[in-house]
Structure 1
Amino acid sequence: MKIEAPSLSALPGIRHAFFTRQGGVSSGIYGALNGGLGSGDDPAAVLENRAIMARALGLKPECLLACWQVHSPDVVVATTPWGREDAPKADAIVTKVPGLGAAISMADCGPVLFADPQARVVAAAHSGWRGAFGGVLEATVAQMEAQGAERQNIRAVIGPLIRQPSYEVNDEFCARFLAEDTAFARFFAQAEKPGHALFDLPGFIALRLEQAKVGHIEDLGLDTYTNPDLFYSYRRMTHRGEADYGRLIAAITLTE
């Protein structure tokens, strides 16, 4: 049901999980642990799935917090629980409050979990290409720092996301990156289709984390697109012509 990163599992007082699609109550194309309230799944099933995830982290269901994700560089600091109707529009959550879980949802985009075990500050960031390009990772680190963290003490983990062999993009996409920095060419490989390339999203995320001077970076090396038994994938859904897709959840929390 969940995957843990060795670099975070070794830390006392911190729990985390990159949840797979296994172990929930949803059925059909959403089977089984769909955490996406924005999907077409039965909302009651999604809420039960989120409660299952919360319990796996030792949290009350109402304390597993997620934003309305908008592919932005915006970060919020969680100090108290919020309801779905009050969820802020942002793509990363930072907290230093034990018993609150910082959670993000995804289905190909990059989930990144952060922890400074000395300062006891944790965070979760939703980093697709727009977020990574726009600065959500740097903004998350900066907000952690504002809460008392130190960059060299932060551990960051890149979870399951779409990998380069599965991530075909067009020339316009490439040009956007190269206009920013020609050195970004190293994140693109030639695709079989003319006018297209394969984009290395986790490599680009890792670079941005390195440039933000994060102390330790771990990449789990898992591909959402090529592992349908474990992960939902937006791109796989479109290629299969399916009507919708579930969302994966990654979360981190401080224990009391």
Structure 2
Amino acid sequence: MTTRAGGCSAGPYASMNLGEFVGDDPAAVAHNRARLAEQIGARAVFLQQVHGVRVVHVTAQDAWPGSATLHQADACVTAEPGLACVVQAADCLPVLFAAARGVAVGAAHAGWRGLAGGVLEQTLQAVCAAGRCQPAEVSAWLGACIGPDDFEVGADVLHAFGAPAVPGQSAPHFKAGAADRWWADLARLARQRLTQSGVKVVSGGTWPTHGSRFFSFRRDRGLTGRMGAAIWIRG
């Protein structure tokens, strides 16, 4: 996973912004994406993320640059070596999946809407199908996301996860705040869903985006860049 350092973007996007359509100079974004591909030694597939649950199976034809189609989805899966599945984030949780023996990989963008809607379960199912394996044979890694002390939410978020929303009372992975507000632990909610789906190995999820190392949509009030989390099968 990238941080905000190491690119050429300026201003609120400084410096390794990988996100298009966020207000940054397109030439700077192209430079940063090319640098990412060079550093990892793989062609990268980017998505048009919409906070949904759609998963796409990608091939070399989908790689940036030159792809004729920008998939509108929040997760992608591949079994092709040398092709990196990339998701972008700036508080939302990126989750990377790897089937045993490296036969298939996947990446998911999990904001609270996608997480509650099942984007991780859908991605896991797609990785298992591509790798002809079971969930217990898949490892998951959680990237940097908004931390549990920074993610203030309302009752609608608790309802989306089937949790009771009683003002002043905490719920699993939701700490009670002032009035009818709670503090949500996005990484723990993701771990719970992954383990319930049969994933045995889940790591990461300990880096909060609110500090200066990462882009943060909430901290910067929407004017910010995007990090990238990538996974690929070595060619």
Residues 41 and 130 (structure 1 numbering): CA distance in 2 closer, same or farther, change over 3 Å?
Answer: same
Residue from 139, 144, 153 that aligns with 1:169: 153
- Give the 5 Å matches for 1:189-228: 189-191=175-177, 193-225=178-210, 227-228=211-212
Alignment correspondent of 2:53:
73
Q: Which runs of 4+ in 1 moved over 4 A?
A: 179-182
Alignment correspondent of 1:95:
78
Query: Aligned pair count?
Result: 228
Give 1 or 2: higher helix fraction: 1
| SS of aligned partner of 2:215 | coil
**Percent of pairs with identical residues:** 37
Does 2:137 match 1:153? yes
Does 2:233 match 1:254? yes
The Cα shift of 1:219 comes to 2.1
Alignment correspondent of 1:48:
31
What TM-score do the two structures reach when normalised by structure 2? 0.91
Amino acid in structure 2 at the alignment position of 1:195 = D
Amino acid in structure 2 at the alignment position of 1:207 = Q
Q: What is the RMSD computed on CA atoms of the aligned residues? A: 1.9
Does 2:100 match 1:117? yes
| SS of aligned partner of 1:165 | coil
In the alignment, structure 2 segments of 5+ residues that lack a partner are none
Answer yes or no: is the 8 Å Cα contact 1:178–1:185 preserved in 2: no
What TM-score do the two structures reach when normalised by structure 1? 0.84
| SS of aligned partner of 1:101 | strand
In the alignment, structure 1 segments of 5+ residues that lack a partner are 1-17
Counterpart-to-counterpart distance in 1, 2:160 and 2:105 = 32
Counterpart-to-counterpart distance in 1, 2:90 and 2:97 = 19
Answer yes or no: is the 8 Å Cα contact 1:121–1:149 preserved in 2: no
Amino acid in structure 2 at the alignment position of 1:163 = G
The Cα shift of 1:215 comes to 2.5
Answer yes or no: is the 8 Å Cα contact 2:2–2:227 preserved in 1: yes
For residues 21-52 of structure 1, the C-alpha deviation after alignment (integer angstroms, 9 at most, x for no partner) is 10000111110000011210000000100111
Counterpart-to-counterpart distance in 1, 2:156 and 2:100 = 41
